[in-house]
Structure 1
Amino acid sequence: MANPVVPGRWRDLDKLLLRPGNLVGPNFEPGPELREDLQEYAKVLVVGAGGLGCELLKDLALSGFRNLDVIDMDRIEVSNLNRQFLFRLQDVGKPKAEVAAMRVMERVSGVNIVPHFCRIEDKDIEFYNDFNIIALGLDSIEARSYINAVACSFLEYDSEDNPVEETIKPMVDGGTEGFKGHARVIMPGITPCFECTIWLFPPQVKFPLCTLAETPRTAAHCIEYAHLIKWDEVHSGETFDADDPEHMQWVYSEALKRAELFGISGVTYSVTQGVVKNIIPAIASTNAIISAACALEALKIATGCSKTLSNYLTYNGLAGLHTKVTEFVKDTDCLVCGPGVLVELDTSITLQKFIVLLGEHPHLLLSKPSVTHRGKNLYMQAPAVLEEMTRPNLQQPLFNLMGKVPKDVIHVNGSTVTNGKKNSCLRKLRVVFKGIVDGVTDMDTAGGA
């Protein structure tokens, strides 16, 4: 049963929303209506219901947000219980999103949380467009890139390459690793998106197979040898399941034998799990601190009660405490959030003619380009098998190939010549078809009905 409404429950929130200040946003108008609007109209999607996601749900609910959704594809494991505080031993095996939503609604009256037990890719694009803010509590670079691309897909630019304000989908991204963490605000078209600063993340460590097989030097080498090489030798045809305790125990035992053979220490069952499943170490206190920063930024975005973070906060509690804010600069040529090159076309132009125009366009001058639209290959120059498969598209109108939409983004990969040197390059184009209004041509409307 939900807790009853406590008098003065929103006292601290009202201190932010009922009074003017020197750091407020440009459109901030203090008053009780602001809290009412926040609770009634603001919709936030929390992506991830793990250590950081549990904290985010709790913090957002206690900050006045009442309409929340959470999406997560995982089920609860025993190893989650030391830091994912919404879960109990009896919850093991249940979907994280469903249990997290239930627990927060039990403790915070008035909040409504809709859980989604599925992969983020299982939802169509319009699902994400229903939310005012997307809060990320993820531990995967690939998942962040996907949500970033989805949010940026709603972004539109005007004829002067300025982002259209109502198409901006704000994101708040948090991440933790041990005693370190970050919180960032992403306003597509204004601040750097995730892809603009992808270089901030170190590449995933990969070990050469020759090192694993011949000269292991660390516990991780021994574990990966058992996982990647020994398993296939002994269990030919059987797929390794990282979530099967018996499979993991076998890898641990084999890794321990190899470590003893080469005089290497440090192989434990928990380390084996971490290496095989690429588990990022997590600490509850770090999750709580980063979640608090993310929830505060979400509140700022929704109400304008203060200027938002500019735009990347880092936290380090490893030795003492150190935190700082860095303002990164947006990459104007970003293929995800950048405006791209505006190209206006007739609906009758074929893909083949469009490719010719790419070589004549003064801002492109691309030769032998390949063309993709929403991940689908419209025409590929190579390899030969893909060229043959996509060749029939050359005679089709580009308007038809792009789904008969009035405007959309496509990517072209070709080569340019600079200072006599040939360079490969990838370009983003904003294609606008002339005479199209909401997918209906002038000719269609002229015919009447």
Structure 2
Amino acid sequence: MTTAVSNGGPSKLTSYLADETRFAHIDKVLDRRGPWTDERFIGGQETKDFLRTQSKILVIGAGGLGCEILQNLALSGFNDIHVIDMDTIDISNLNRQFLFREADVGKSKALCAAEFVMKRVPGVKVTPYHGKIQDHPQSFYAQFNIVVAGLDSISARRWINATLVQMAQDDEENLKPLIDGGTEGFKGQARVILPTVTSCYECSIDMLTPPTAFPICTIANTPRLPEHCIEWASVLEWPKVFKDKKLDTDDPDHIEWLYRQASARAAQFKIEGVTWALTQGVVKNIIPAIASTNAIIAASCCNEALKIATACAPFLNNYMMYVGNDSVYTYTFEHEKRPECPVCGGESLTADVGRDWTLEKFIDSLIARQDLQITRPSLSTSRGALYWPSPPDVHEATKPNLEKLLLDLLGEEDGITVLDPALPVSLSITVNYV
């Protein structure tokens, strides 16, 4: 949207936003009952006052999806909005993250987005937080009525989902609806998660496309693609040089180091195409964002937020898919809870294994499971560590177990506890010998 300014005076849009009639169309929905109105709907001034003066909503992410969500919420009547994002603005963001300008490059996304929305929508309070969502305790999330996630990170989604489920399990009064939006090129989804009531994010983890994996022997000995050089730098060289220091794919200094290492290896094998952007894309599994997809998914998420906050219509139950590759196609369905979900399920996970399986074969079977989406699991029993890929001293001590039979290590009765960087919780597995 562009705004014309003439004679140095305020634009028509600015005047409109400052006028109380800006919510006239939304008031028509909130003033009276309609054919699809939720049975909880009260309507009238009480509902409008709750929306505009009492409700508190958190937006996680101020990127392509988050920018759209913030403006939609502000123009829908949410007046107490909080936004959290750990990233800073890059020049490449400006083609779709329209709350930012060239002068903002290098600044915090959360801070700049908050300032822009408050400037354009008078009366709206947007509170920014620059940092990781994991840095905040459960008490921080307990203050909000609704949480809207516009994230590009699977691990962050899994973490906030597990946190909100844990809060609801500890105290049912602490149930915070989570509206999750995600885009992948011309595809996207919006879903409503009521922790402990509906299926959670972890219940649908098997719907995700597993990240591309390259054979270790190829990236170690005979790289042929720029991606092989980048994987070599991140998977083999980083642990060798930095030992216990964890690679942070959101840290520009870490990406820069990987880029330089991958570039040197590519030159050694006469491979072209290693760039800083490709390095970041490979280690973060980034898929290019499409502005129109962001707009559509953000609109769906904000519609659900308005319906939950006001009960003006039944909210989504509970999953909407959008596909815009060849046309405009949407499909809604109810994603059911998974009984063996490690986050919200009530049943323990069982793994069928052969009596001749080694520990290494068992670990490979866990990594191959679509419903777990793990990559570097650490396994323990009540008697101690079975196999830990890190730190180096524990890795060396447990590495010989990989060649041993699982039956010899466990016996008939023992269960296994699994930890993984991708898992938001520890996983208990009961072994069933077949």
Tell me how far apart the structure 2 counterparts of residues 422 and 385 of structure 1 sit (CA, whole Å): 18
Aligned to 1:313: 320
Paired letter, 1:115: P
Tell me how far apart the structure 2 counterparts of residues 93 and 412 of structure 1 sit (CA, whole Å): 39
Aligned to 2:124: 111
Paired letter, 1:314: M
Tell me how far apart the structure 2 counterparts of residues 308 and 52 of structure 1 sit (CA, whole Å): 20
Q: Is it true that 1:243 corresponds to 2:252 in the alignment?
A: yes
Aligned identity (percent) is 47
Aligned to 1:440: none
Q: Tell me the TM-score normalized by structure 2.
A: 0.71
Check whether the contact 2:259–2:275 (CA below 8 A) recurs between aligned residues.
no
Tell me how far apart the structure 1 counterparts of residues 133 and 120 of structure 2 sit (CA, whole Å): 27
Distance 1:411 1:274, change over 3 A: closer
- Residue-pair matches, total: 349
Paired letter, 2:383: A
Check whether the contact 2:189–2:322 (CA below 8 A) recurs between aligned residues.
yes
Check whether the contact 2:259–2:274 (CA below 8 A) recurs between aligned residues.
no
1:100 pairs with 113, 116, 128, which one?
Answer: 113
Check whether the contact 1:252–1:269 (CA below 8 A) recurs between aligned residues.
no
Check whether the contact 1:183–1:312 (CA below 8 A) recurs between aligned residues.
yes
Q: Is it true that 1:61 corresponds to 2:62 in the alignment?
A: no
Q: Is it true that 1:197 corresponds to 2:218 in the alignment?
A: no
Q: Tell me the TM-score normalized by structure 1.
A: 0.69
Aligned to 2:133: 120
In structure 1, stretches of 5+ residues that fail to align are 158-162, 342-378, 387-409, 424-449
C-alpha RMSD over aligned residues:
3.5
The offset of 1:117, in angstroms, is: 1.0
Query: Aligned to 1:10, what secondary structure does the other structure show?
Result: helix
Query: Aligned to 1:138, what secondary structure does the other structure show?
Result: coil
CA offsets 1:83-142 (integer angstroms, 9 cap, x no match): 111111211221111111111000011111111112111111111000000000111111
The offset of 1:298, in angstroms, is: 0.4
Aligned to 1:137: 150
In structure 2, stretches of 5+ residues that fail to align are 1-9, 349-379, 388-424
The offset of 1:223, in angstroms, is: 3.8
Aligned to 2:405: none
Distance 1:277 1:148, change over 3 A: closer
CA offsets 1:389-424 (integer angstroms, 9 cap, x no match): xxxxxxxxxxxxxxxxxxxxx9894758xxxx569x
Aligned to 1:329: 336
2:288 pairs with 281, 291, 298, which one?
Answer: 281
2:302 pairs with 295, 299, 303, which one?
Answer: 295
Alignment of 1:326-365 (within 5 A): 326-338=333-345
Aligned to 1:31: 44
Tell me how far apart the structure 2 counterparts of residues 150 and 236 of structure 1 sit (CA, whole Å): 30
Q: Is it true that 1:179 corresponds to 2:192 in the alignment?
A: no
Distance 1:7 1:125, change over 3 A: closer
Paired letter, 1:152: V
Aligned to 2:410: none
The offset of 1:232, in angstroms, is: 9.0
Tell me how far apart the structure 2 counterparts of residues 228 and 252 of structure 1 sit (CA, whole Å): 11
1:90 pairs with 81, 103, 111, which one?
Answer: 103
Tell me how far apart the structure 2 counterparts of residues 86 and 384 of structure 1 sit (CA, whole Å): 49
Aligned to 2:383: 382
- Larger fraction in strand: 1
Aligned to 1:347: none
Paired letter, 2:252: D
- Larger fraction in helix: 2
Query: Aligned to 2:95, what secondary structure does the other structure show?
Result: coil
CA offsets 1:253-280 (integer angstroms, 9 cap, x no match): 446646755xxx7655543442244323
The offset of 1:168, in angstroms, is: 2.2
Tell me how far apart the structure 2 counterparts of residues 273 and 36 of structure 1 sit (CA, whole Å): 45
Check whether the contact 1:415–1:422 (CA below 8 A) recurs between aligned residues.
no
